Structure 1
Amino acid sequence: MQRRKFIASAALAAAMTGSLVTADAATAVPESGQRAGWTSTFNGSKAGWQNVVGTWVLKPGNLYNTGIAGKRTSVKHINNYTNFYYTVRMKRWGNSTGVAANAIVIRGNPSSRDGTGYWRPSYLLQYSNNGFYSVWRINADATQTAIQGWTPVSGVISKSGYNKLEVWAGGDSLDFHINGVHLWSGFDSALTFGNVGVSQYTEPGKWSQTWLDSASLTVATRVAPHDHGAAGTPVKGGTMDMAPR
């Protein structure tokens, strides 16, 4: 209970100041007796990865996807994970005015999806090229829960270059960074294990391209929770798929 009070206080302070905190990462302790994890550089191989929605193909040094208008295209790693550190380096082009969501997906069930392509259930840790981030939970019945609504951040997200997304997941604690900057940490106990992956949303009538330069995961027995809460305050507008314009 004390750690929750501390996190809540930190979140309130961060929200009031709108401050960003340089990465002071949560600690992942490797899980003994199990595979330590994996690293994918996509240099001629996508071993361990499978298409979920859309086609993800190898291009020099990248895993590449052309979006489908009105859909969430996605790719998964084949194994299920509970506690871990997961990082992806990715970039996105052609997403309307920069508002369409780009996400890492964790603790998901890609075998169960709705018509748009949402994994039911799953967590989405997202960014938009116009400078917002958000954290969502998609429930088994396809309803959506905004854990952290779309929140503007300045000087963190690259509009056309690669962005490094990191998440530490341990028990009910989650911790999200982009490009070495802490953006959000908090607690949610609804989902405990599942696949990890990447997804992008493409607005109806638009086009998009996504490149994954690399991805890696370290299995952990526990992840010490981060204590910085949220960077910035959510704003009104947008949907899970689209940040405010």
Structure 2
Amino acid sequence: MMMSDDNMSITERLTHVAARANAMSETVNAQMGVINAAMESAETKFDNYIGGARAELSHILLSNNQQMEPNDNGTAIKGFNTISLQQFEVTKEATIYAAPANDTDHTNRGVAQDFRNNVFNGYVNGAFNIVRIKWKRNSSDHPARLDNNWNTRYQQGALSSACYIKLISGSVGGSMQPIKEYGNGWKLMGYRQKADNTAKPFYAPHSKLALSDSALAEGEALICLFGTVSGYVDFEKVGWGVYPEFAKPSDISIATSQLSAQG
């Protein structure tokens, strides 16, 4: 038979109240633990989402001329900058098309086949050139480099830069480092950064691809698909390729003219 509070002594009543209070406190503490765990889990998921969302942007080309078309007199690559060089020569060696059978070897030195044999022999989603670059540094101590869009100020945030390169002589350096080695001297070089912290300042390196490490040094290399895209590219799984880019003003004017003609 349960004893009512009326039949309890003062001591028993206080003991009973204390027991109820302890039970209630334990229940509250247990619920607080559940709530705190849920909040911590939510915060972790949110932080991971923000970090991932800022890092895994669509891979849109931020640089110009990833196809690497030389200028008319072979002294530059259109859309690219050089600095601290005394000499710079560019030769279009080969053009790689969708199917290997359509590739063009412009100098008859077998560069297209060399690339296909050692780097990639499958379908290509956009034609691009393999160019031969020869350089000689000037006497300045400033790092010599081949860049293509740092000075446009678009290299901020999560980004990836890469190229396929075959060094023939001399040396290369800079922020881009070897990612994967292929046959016959070809390699994938790349640099990438995530925006993985909401308080972390964005940084973009000046020298992606540095040419030679000492003044007056010379070098030669085959190179293709040099460019920078938004987001964090998984070089190890997907490699590097031809990326879509934002429409250029010239594209818009041409499209407008075509629409006007059709109208």
Class of the TM-score when normalised by the shorter of the 2 chains: 0.3 to 0.5
**Larger helix proportion, structure 1 or 2?**
2
**Larger strand proportion, structure 1 or 2?**
1
TM-score (norm 1): 0.40
Find the structure with the greater CA-based Rg.
Answer: 2
